[in-house]
């Protein structure tokens, strides 16, 4: 059995490591966002790989944190670093959601461009609010 205080010290060490990981995740999400904005597939792939590695690391640390918390039976109130970690995780979640929305928007732009290049015209609305009949599509080579 751990001496008094060792369990708490171990828990604090794990929390600080989780904070370090969450800060790295937030930086990685920022790099991912910049790569999305720049259309840089190589940097996007690198950020995705870093993000996956950090998710694995955070999950392993969370398992360790839960085990330590159970072992010391939460004798004291959560340390201030717990609130810091929760705040960082919330920021990561928000940034990841923004990146996902940006990725979806980029994907829609690519689909629309491909549709246009293939000759299908997007539905357009006339002054009455109804879609106009699409003109016959023609292959890109005949444009």
CATH number at residue 77: 1.20.58
Q: Is residue 94 part of a domain?
A: yes
Rg value, the chain, Cα:
25
Max mean pLDDT range (30-39, 61-70, 132-141): 30-39
Higher pLDDT, 27 or 129: 27
Assign 4 a pLDDT band (cuts: 50, 70, 90): very low
Closest CA to 80 of 11, 27, 24: 11
The CA dihedral of 43, 45, 49, 50, to the nearest 10 degrees, is 20
Assign 10 a pLDDT band (cuts: 50, 70, 90): confident
Q: Which residue has the tokens 């171990």?
A: 10
Q: Is residue 142 part of a domain?
A: no
Mean residue pLDDT across the chain = 81
Q: Is residue 131 part of a domain?
A: no
Rounded percentage of the chain residues whose pLDDT exceeds 90: 43
Q: Which domain, by its residues, includes 83?
A: 6-122
Q: Is residue 92 part of a domain?
A: yes
Q: Is residue 15 part of a domain?
A: yes
As for how many domains the chain has, the answer is: 1
Max mean pLDDT range (71-80, 99-108, 114-123, 134-143): 99-108
Q: Is residue 104 part of a domain?
A: yes
Q: Is residue 72 part of a domain?
A: yes
Q: Is the pLDDT of residue 110 over 80?
A: yes
Q: Is residue 53 part of a domain?
A: yes
| Whole-model pTM over 0.75 | no
């Amino acid at each position: 059995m751990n001496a008094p205080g060792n369990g708490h010290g171990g828990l604090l060490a794990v929390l600080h490591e989780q904070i370090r990981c969450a800060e790295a995740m937030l930086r990685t999400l920022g790099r991912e966002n910049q790569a999305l904005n720049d259309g840089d597939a190589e940097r996007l792939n690198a950020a995705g790989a870093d993000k996956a590695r950090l998710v694995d690391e955070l999950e392993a640390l969370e398992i360790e944190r839960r085990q330590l918390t159970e072992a010391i039976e939460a004798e004291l109130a959560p340390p201030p670093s717990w609130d810091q970690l929760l705040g960082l995780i919330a920021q990561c979640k928000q940034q990841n959601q923004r990146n996902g929305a940006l990725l979806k928007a980029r994907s829609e732009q690519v689909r629309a461009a491909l549709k246009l290049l293939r000759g299908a015209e997007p539905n357009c609305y006339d002054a009455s609010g109804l879609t106009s009949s699409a003109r016959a599509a023609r292959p890109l080579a005949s444009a």
